Copies of this chain bind each other. A is one copy, B any other.
Amino acid sequence: MTVSEAIRRRRSIRRYQAGIVIPREEICQMLEAAMMAPSACNTRPWEFIVVEDKARREELAKVHPYCSFAPAASLVIVVCGLPERQEATGGWEFWPQDCGAAIENLLLEAYALGYGTCWCGVYPNPERVRALQELLGITSTPLAAVAVGAPAESPAARGFFDERKVRFL
């Protein structure tokens, strides 16, 4: 799978095949891809909570309004920011954009491995942040919940080059 193909073909997947277990090795490949993203001053301001436990995924679906498919997916990776790691940046909070880059790598790597994903936003919505911190027992800042599993739908590619969004100087 070339990088251009993965970028252009990947779609968000909200329906998943039941009973698919993702091998630990593949999970780590996805997380490695995420960790290869560049970050401000190479601060790597992230951590990853891999929620395999179905009961917790059911709870997650209750506290996040757009993550009803969390129990049907094979697992959910909650990508969390570590703002305190960014002192080297002069205190500027680049971490949400750094985590965005890490998530995109995760999505692309998962796609190359044959899995579907859906990125569900958490931060900066304070209710979702608090709910996930409680559910997962963490003090870092949950930025997104990424469902991962074998797709049970195959939406056509979409997205396009919009020349109105470009200016040459």
- Give A residues with C-beta under 8 Å from B: 1-8, 10, 12, 28-29, 31-33, 35-38, 40, 44, 46-53, 56, 89-90, 92-94, 96-101, 103-105, 107-109, 111-112, 119, 121, 123-125, 136, 143-144, 159-162, 165-169
Contact = CB atoms under 8 A, between A and B. Distances in A.
Contacts of A48: 165-167
A53 B92 CA distance: 29
Contact of A104 (B44, B104, B124, B160): B104
A165 B46 contact: yes
Nearest to A99: B97
B2 A47 contact: no
A69 B53 CA distance: 48
A103 B38 CA distance: 10
A125 to B, nearest CB: 5
A66 to B, nearest CB: 9
12 contacts: A3-B3, A3-B111, A35-B159, A35-B160, A38-B119, A44-B165, A47-B166, A49-B166, A49-B169, A92-B121, A96-B97, A108-B108
Contacts of A98: 100
A51 B1 contact: no
A167 B7 contact: no
A90 B128 CA distance: 13
